[in-house]
Structure 1
Amino acid sequence: MNLKAGLYQTQTLKLAMTQELSQAIALLQYSTQELAAYLENKAAENPLISLESRDTTFDYRKKSSKKQKQESDPKYWIEQIGEVKICLEDYLMSQVHPKLLTKDDKKILKHLIRNLDENGYFRVDLQGIALNLNEPVDHVEQILFVLQGLEPAGVGARNLQECLLLQIQRQDSLPLAYNVINNHFIPFAEKKWKQISKDLKISLTELQEIFDFVQTLQPRPCARFSHDKPSYIVPDVVVEVIENQLHVRLADDLLSKVKLNEGYYKDMNNVGDKQVNRFLQDKFQEYQWIMKSIQQRRETILRVMTAITEKQPDCLTKGFSYLKPMTMKEIADELNIHESTVSRTVKDKYVQAPFGTVEMREFFSSSLQSLSSEDVSAREAKNAIQILIANEDKKKPLSDQDISEILKQEKSIILSRRTVAKYRDQLNIPSSSKRKRF
């Protein structure tokens, strides 16, 4: 090593993360909807970018003559009924007798209703409400009890336990249920029933009946009043079966919708101003970069999905029960790209396959040990665990060790007890002690 001071000329190779490269990477991991929103923002900033709408899907606003006849025909009156959205505040206030509360009491009641969350729970500090309304806490609490007496049962509860108690109070089917939920809520929920059985002098079978009854109660009493718009999944890639062959195509070709605003470009280019020319040059370069990035994104998605299709033909046509072990590194090596590029490509992307619309990431699964010659995927192991638990004797549920041994003997799948427990947790399946019925 030369430690002397001096000027030396060396040649090195390195990759510089330019702004264009950084944005190209970001563009790759965008879903189709996110990319469309990005292009709309760019079109608002860059006058040279023009977005054309080429929606080839059926326009439901253009109704056929047959459909119009049906809508005008009285026989089809059921289709003419519009959706009526019920407001929770109006529904609750309509149950209050006009002479039951004073004008000030109604004002407090409305304030309490407006502080309910989307499930109908009252989780705001009562003292803070009383301070804001300049009312005694006891008086505000009395109005809260009035709210808790309204329909649906459980509205105005301050926690899950109180919500269940409010519903149990209105039913006389199991008198012991109130006592159990009121005094033994946590151990009852955790199925630590032996001590409860001893304290209340009741059998485990009776506790099982109470548990089944509580399962019929509504933990979210006001959920039906929530009017959030449902979110729809828009597929990015479509895999079709054409003449017994799988074909891959993009669901929406955004590249054809991005056009150069040639009229504006020609008009501004003839101005002859240096600043205008520099501005046009920058915006034109941005337009070219966006077109190139979209094309690269398009090609990468198609290449990755085509590789997945070649490796998972049975899975794409028949479902995930036929999924073979496959990692992102395998696809990356086959396409001669980096594994992180595959990860960005499948991020938040959905595939419309012959068996349904699924996330691209779902096709990747690690390989597990097997006694047979064929590899087993993690999804296949999870499906096997689900089937075993679904068919088990609920009075003697299978432990994680039992499941591990059965999988080895019957399915030739080698899983440790800890791996079974991890997969069971991922499937949101409780442990054997929680699944046991008495």
Structure 2
Amino acid sequence: MELRNGLFQQQSLKLSMTQELSQAIALLQYTSQELAAYLEERAAENPLVSLDSSPEGSFAVEIKRKNRLKAPREKDAMYWLEQIGDQSISLSEYLRWQLSLYSLNHLEKKVMNSLILNLDQNGYLRASLEDIAEITGCESELVEKCLCELQMLEPAGIGARNLQECLLLQSKRMQYVFCHTETILRDHFLLFAEKKWKELARKLDISLKDIQDVQDFVLTLNPRPGASFQQEKSSYVVPDVKVEYLDGVLQVRLPENHANQWDLNQSYFDALKSYRDQSVDKFLHEKWQEFQWISKSLQQRKETILKVTKQIVKKQERCFLKGLGELKPMTMREVAEELGIHESTVSRTVREKYVQAPFGTVELRAFFTSNLQSVSSDDISAVTAKKELHLLVESEDKTKPLSDQDISVILKMEKGIILSRRTVAKYREQLGIPSSSKRKRYN
């Protein structure tokens, strides 16, 4: 073979990721909040942009501002409604308030403060007594005494070092406790938790019904006594698309948001254009090009969201009218093929986006579910299968709970739904349903 150097021409086709295409893909998968933040950032850097911050358009941003301005507004009587039921006291403040009613000396206050500082968000003590003694420079006996006093405060179970101690502390405060409760929790907690009840019944010479009663009582206790003091802010969901039932027809539309307020600042554009300066012309060209790119990407984003949502509504019309209980099997691949777009485009379109349907606001991804085998020719969705599985477990005889294999057989014979034993186990775990051995109750 002859090898030689030279210049040659060759034609080839390839897909290149342009800046405009990359930007369009990024904007498509943005949520409403992410899009609002992005557009505000671009508007701050581009003087040609006019971004009208109307109350409706800036809803997501105003939520964040409200959280930042909450402290001054708490004193305003106009916002009294927002303060109803607001848990404004922390766990540490609540404990210190209770301790203020006790007569503690300087060292006891020092140890108590160290103990409180070492409580986690669930109210458990995460430092050893030796560590507390070393930190405070106090005797171990004093630290242990202070811990006992701390554990006598509210809420019950506070200051426990593990789940076993937490449950014991709570059970000791109850006026009526089932027989053997303290013995089981103190001396046989592992057997009890692992539900090795037959072995436990032989050791204590009691019936399985007695252990069942203890379990029913323990389930009324709080394994995380400090969790109720965690001040979590309410999360707000801003719908990206609305589906309304008007004049007997399901109609799809996009709500007002920042994308609708993105416009050209015509007066500033005309003012810059009148200058006869090379640097100004270059600046104007760059900012105008950026404005055009984002405007085109926003328009494409709107069209794609509307197109995908309309197809979802078309295939899930009964679901939108009746609720998610009427969900039919539908995959992203099916929607993509019917619209003539790539499956990844559908995935980006529905990513973390919510639809305001007639029955409530849900994530767009909720309308996609796999197709399961059935005895008949009718399609069965995974949601329907889980619903039937849940109803079956709810109606079972708890003294003889159904195994995963039993559920598989009954669903096939009575409902025509074909699920393997492993699939039943997977769906059961997703629904938070324990295994048959843990569902069993004793008379």
TM-score by length of 1: 0.89
2:62 match? none
Does the 8 Å contact 1:190/1:434 carry over to 2?
no
Alignment pair present for 1:243 and 2:255: no
Provide closer, same or farther for how the CA distance between residues 324 and 79 of structure 1 changes in structure 2, counting only shifts above 3 A. Answer: closer
- Deviation of the 1:48 alpha carbon: 2.5
Does the 8 Å contact 1:236/1:252 carry over to 2?
no
2:291 match? 287
1:87 corresponds, among 76, 85, 90, to 90
Aligned partners of 1:130, 1:80: CA distance in 2, in Å? 41
Which piece of structure 1 moves more, 88-97 or 213-222? 88-97
Does the 8 Å contact 2:56/2:257 carry over to 1?
no
CA offsets 1:245-297 (integer angstroms, 9 cap, x no match): 11111123433211223333333444444333323322222222111111111
2:259 corresponds, among 244, 247, 255, to 255
SS in structure 1 opposite 2:180? helix
Does the 8 Å contact 2:51/2:258 carry over to 1?
no
- Deviation of the 1:427 alpha carbon: 1.1
Alignment of 1:186-225 (within 5 A): 186-225=190-229
Aligned partners of 2:383, 2:83: CA distance in 1, in Å? 45
Cα RMSD, aligned residues only: 2.5
Which piece of structure 1 moves more, 343-352 or 189-198? 189-198
1:303 corresponds, among 292, 296, 307, to 307
Which piece of structure 1 moves more, 121-130 or 98-107? 121-130
Alignment of 1:110-259 (within 5 A): 110-124=113-127, 126-171=129-174, 172-259=176-263
- Deviation of the 1:331 alpha carbon: 0.3
Which piece of structure 1 moves more, 364-373 or 180-189? 180-189
2:23 match? 23
SS in structure 2 opposite 1:94? helix
Aligned partners of 1:84, 1:160: CA distance in 2, in Å? 25
Q: How many residues align?
A: 420
Which piece of structure 1 moves more, 142-151 or 334-343? 142-151
State the percentage of identical aligned residues: 57
Aligned partners of 2:250, 2:234: CA distance in 1, in Å? 31
- Deviation of the 1:313 alpha carbon: 0.6
Aligned partners of 1:118, 1:38: CA distance in 2, in Å? 34
Q: Which amino acid aligns with 1:87?
A: S
Does the 8 Å contact 1:130/1:136 carry over to 2?
yes
**Which runs of 5 or more structure 2 residues have no equivalent in the other structure?**
60-79
Aligned partners of 1:142, 1:344: CA distance in 2, in Å? 59
SS in structure 2 opposite 1:207? helix
Alignment pair present for 1:313 and 2:343: no
Provide closer, same or farther for how the CA distance between residues 206 and 44 of structure 1 changes in structure 2, counting only shifts above 3 A. Answer: same
- Deviation of the 1:136 alpha carbon: 4.5
CA offsets 1:126-160 (integer angstroms, 9 cap, x no match): 54444444445554343233221111101112222
Provide closer, same or farther for how the CA distance between residues 283 and 116 of structure 1 changes in structure 2, counting only shifts above 3 A. Answer: farther
1:394 match? 398
Aligned partners of 2:202, 2:329: CA distance in 1, in Å? 50
Aligned partners of 1:97, 1:426: CA distance in 2, in Å? 46
Aligned partners of 1:249, 1:55: CA distance in 2, in Å? 19
TM-score by length of 2: 0.88
Aligned partners of 1:232, 1:325: CA distance in 2, in Å? 29
SS in structure 2 opposite 1:352? strand
- Deviation of the 1:97 alpha carbon: 5.6
Does the 8 Å contact 2:110/2:136 carry over to 1?
no
Does the 8 Å contact 2:56/2:256 carry over to 1?
no
Provide closer, same or farther for how the CA distance between residues 355 and 276 of structure 1 changes in structure 2, counting only shifts above 3 A. Answer: same
Does the 8 Å contact 2:335/2:346 carry over to 1?
yes
Provide closer, same or farther for how the CA distance between residues 78 and 379 of structure 1 changes in structure 2, counting only shifts above 3 A. Answer: closer
2:440 match? 436
- Deviation of the 1:107 alpha carbon: 2.9
- Deviation of the 1:216 alpha carbon: 0.3
- Deviation of the 1:377 alpha carbon: 0.8
Which piece of structure 1 moves more, 125-134 or 387-396? 125-134
SS in structure 2 opposite 1:371? coil
- Deviation of the 1:193 alpha carbon: 1.0
SS in structure 1 opposite 2:244? strand
- Deviation of the 1:81 alpha carbon: 6.9
- Deviation of the 1:124 alpha carbon: 3.8
Aligned partners of 1:293, 1:282: CA distance in 2, in Å? 17
Q: Which amino acid aligns with 2:39?
A: L
- Deviation of the 1:22 alpha carbon: 2.5
2:373 corresponds, among 349, 369, 375, to 369
CA offsets 1:93-115 (integer angstroms, 9 cap, x no match): 22226553212321332232233
Q: Which amino acid aligns with 1:150?
A: L
SS in structure 2 opposite 1:357? strand
**Which runs of 5 or more structure 1 residues have no equivalent in the other structure?**
60-76
- Deviation of the 1:316 alpha carbon: 0.8
